[in-house]
């Protein structure tokens, strides 16, 4: 009973709809294969924070990076974790999707380079792997330019999602990738690999991963959104206070994960859960506006994303509420 009361307090109040529990099953589509970023989700589910608020969450792994937008837009997924660039592109293409909570407060994108690359300027004339996504090109150009180099002198090479293998085999001098996953995997095999994070070379500190719903879900099923956000926030607070249990929960829930790898990932990414924020999940308007300007400047979108329409942070629990 105490747990239920605490969670109901986390869910917040003051909206124009009833606070009744939704009492529904709901699918939450992940952005990637389960990793340390998702520990709070699995903790919330394992500890029953979701069901205490009337939502039976089912975490689902995407088949490809485009699954989430299609499934959200068609109503075949209730909620999804989107890379913030995918959210911007989906909205520009006409999908009315809305970010309602941040999972991290910083970019996870980086350029991962061979030890001989001392600065991103050294990538001029070098072959650099990119996945083929527009955001990869923007990250690469931003990092090279931020280091005083000329992005036009870099030789981007499409390698799909084989960042780790491409660096280890020497196919490329560097590659774009997520420092919290590919970066950790690379360092485990090549400790002296270089890591150049995009927000260390001119990009604003934006929330890379965002819990996203359709506008219809936000309008017609607000109680589902409120309950899910509250449950997940509690899950991540637990992980921050007890990281080892968070690792254990994820490893036990997902077959094939290496505990040591997940622990390294969580050690690296956990500061980003709340970096510069008042609490977990915050969607900071000034940060998002700076991101929107950067998004257009580096050509990910043709126009600046409309922050007021793309994000709605009202359901994130207020800091200190318990």
Residue pair 253/48 in contact by the 8 Å Cβ criterion: no
Q: Note the residue count of the chain.
A: 322
Residue pair 230/317 in contact by the 8 Å Cβ criterion: yes
User: What's the pLDDT score for residue 133?
Assistant: 87
**Two tokens, residue 190:** 């090549």
Instruction: Give domain limits for the chain.
Output: 2-105+207-310, 109-200
* Alpha carbons 274 and 79: distance in angstroms, whole number: 21
User: What's the pLDDT score for residue 8?
Assistant: 47
Residue pair 117/164 in contact by the 8 Å Cβ criterion: no
* Alpha carbons 107 and 110: distance in angstroms, whole number: 8
Are 2-105+207-310 and 109-200 the same fold in CATH?
yes
The CATH label, of 3.40.640.10, 2.60.40.10, 3.40.190.10, 3.40.50.720, for the domain at 109-200 is 3.40.190.10
* Alpha carbons 303 and 289: distance in angstroms, whole number: 13
User: What's the pLDDT score for residue 13?
Assistant: 43
Task: Give the closest residue to 24 by CA, choosing from 219, 222, 213, 313.
Answer: 222
Residue pair 188/264 in contact by the 8 Å Cβ criterion: yes
User: What's the pLDDT score for residue 320?
Assistant: 62
CA dihedral 294, 298, 299, 302 (to 10 degrees): 30
DSSP state letters, 22-40: --EEEEEE-SSSS-GGGHH
User: What's the pLDDT score for residue 134?
Assistant: 87
CATH number of 2-105+207-310: 3.40.190.10
Extract the residue ranges of the chain whose pLDDT is less than 50.
1-18, 322
- Residue-wise pLDDT tens digits, 215-253: 999 999 999 999 999 999 999 999 999 999 999 999 999
**Two tokens, residue 152:** 């036009």
């Amino acid at each position: 009973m105490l747990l239920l009361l605490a969670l109901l307090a986390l869910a917040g109040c003051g909206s124009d709809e009833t606070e009744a529990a939704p009492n529904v099953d709901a699918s939450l589509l992940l952005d990637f294969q389960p990793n340390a970023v998702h520990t709070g989700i699995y903790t919330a589910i394992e500890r029953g924070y979701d069901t205490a608020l009337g939502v039976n969450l089912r975490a689902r792994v995407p088949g490809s990076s485009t699954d989430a937008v299609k499934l959200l837009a068609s109503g075949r997924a209730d909620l999804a974790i989107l890379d913030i660039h995918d959210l911007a592109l989906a909205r520009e293409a006409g999908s009315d999707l809305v970010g309602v909570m941040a999972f991290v407060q910083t970019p996870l994108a980086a350029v991962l380079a061979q030890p001989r690359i001392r600065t991103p300027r050294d990538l001029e004339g070098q072959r650099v792997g990119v996945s083929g996504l527009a955001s990869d090109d923007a990250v690469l150009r931003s990092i090279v330019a931020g280091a005083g180099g000329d992005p036009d002198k870099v030789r981007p090479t499409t390698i799909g999602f084989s960042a780790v293998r491409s660096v280890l085999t020497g196919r490329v001098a560097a590659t774009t990738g997520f420092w919290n996953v590919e970066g950790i995997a690379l360092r485990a095999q090549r400790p002296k690999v270089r890591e150049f994070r995009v927000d260390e070379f001119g990009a604003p500190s934006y929330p890379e991963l965002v819990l996203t719903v359709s506008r219809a879900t936000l309008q017609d099923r607000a109680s589902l959104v409120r309950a899910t956000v509250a449950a997940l926030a509690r899950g991540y607070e637990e992980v921050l206070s007890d990281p080892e249990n968070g690792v254990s929960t994820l490893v036990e829930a997902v077959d094939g994960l290496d505990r040591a790898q997940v622990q390294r990932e969580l050690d690296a990414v956990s500061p980003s859960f709340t970096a510069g924020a008042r609490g977990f999940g915050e969607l900071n308007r000034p940060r998002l506006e700076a991101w929107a300007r950067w998004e257009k400047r580096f050509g990910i979108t043709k126009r600046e994303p409309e922050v007021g329409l793309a994000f709605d942070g009202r359901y994130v629990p207020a800091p200190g509420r318990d």
